[in-house]
A and B are shown apart, each in its own frame.
Chain A
Amino acid sequence: MTAKSKTEQGLLADTIFLTDIRRQMLKFATLQLSDASQAEDAVQEALIGAMKNADSFGGRAAFKTWMFAILKNKIADVLRYKQRTVNISSFAHDEDEEDMSELFDRKGFWLQDERPVAWGNPEASMREQEFWRVFEACLEHLPPKQARVFMMREFVELDAGEICATVELSTSNLHVLLHRARLRLRECIENNWYLQGEKS
């Protein structure tokens, strides 16, 4: 047996690794495309593409990065195609113009009602199904650009440089988008999970 085929068999025979990566890819693609069947197709194609070249990867990390790189290209293709065929209204709203007056006062300090509260230990929350439903709904409510970069950063765990190169953003634009995504997500989770107990 050559070293090449050993690597290939190792990666492709690892069902848990593949199942995990497939699940991650599917969530990622669904959030970006907002269409379950298009997401399935993109993931399928990316997996097939990546497996053809599985023997050229030394390890899981490299293989995973490569799979997501292929997936992102597939997603980009689908989005470009969509843009030609229909006007994607979700991108019409310019997220860059968004103002912060819902959260902060004119001097840039937290409005009383919006000031983050202590969450305590999230471990307990993470054991509850309802918490994950809230989290998922909050992710899905992020504006598309913010969701995309947040997922790339925290879900796929790409570093900032890789994200900027992939989606053609400057570092400062990326930081602005991530800041807004985090402000929104934390607010959504806080309002729909951590403050719910107190109200009822």
Chain B
Amino acid sequence: MMNCIEATRLISDAQEQALPLKTRMGLQVHLMMCSGCHNFKQQMGDLRAITRAYAKGENEQTENKG
């Protein structure tokens, strides 16, 4: 069975390029059984959204500059 190092690596790689179907299916099986990697996958989407918001300066809009 695929371990968590491999699974997180594939989840990370998928942020750059689509994974082959067979790899995707193997990963899917791992994710069904592993809550840690399941959460990791969600977080990769969040991390991208957070970083892009940061790049647009959204963090500065929350500051109460007094």
Contact = CB atoms under 8 A, between A and B. Distances in A.
Partners in one complex: yes
Interface residues of B, number: 37
Nearest to A104: B5
A122 B49 contact: yes
Nearest to A185: B47
Contacts, number: 100
Interface stretch (A3-11, A32-40, A48-56, A107-115): A107-115
Contacts of A185: 47
B62 A108 contact: no
A117 B9 contact: no
Contact of B4 (A109, A117, A135): A109
Contact of B56 (A20, A109, A117): A20
Contact of B59 (A132, A157, A174): A132
A182 B44 contact: yes
B29 interface: no
A78 interface: no
A117 B40 CA distance: 8
Interface string B27-58: 00000001111011011101111111111111
Interface residues of A, number: 41
Interface string A99-111: 0100010011110
A132 to B, nearest CB: 4
A186 B16 contact: no
A122 B50 contact: yes
24 contacts: A23-B57, A108-B4, A108-B5, A108-B6, A109-B4, A110-B34, A115-B39, A116-B36, A117-B39, A119-B46, A122-B46, A122-B49, A126-B62, A129-B63, A136-B54, A136-B59, A153-B15, A153-B16, A155-B51, A175-B12, A178-B12, A179-B12, A186-B40, A189-B47
The 6 lowest CB-CB distance pairs between A and B, nearest first, are: A108-B3, A132-B59, A115-B36, A116-B39, A108-B5, A179-B12
Given A116-B39, A129-B59, 16 more contacts: A20-B57, A23-B57, A109-B34, A110-B4, A117-B39, A118-B39, A122-B46, A129-B62, A135-B50, A157-B52, A159-B16, A179-B12, A182-B12, A186-B43, A186-B44, A190-B43
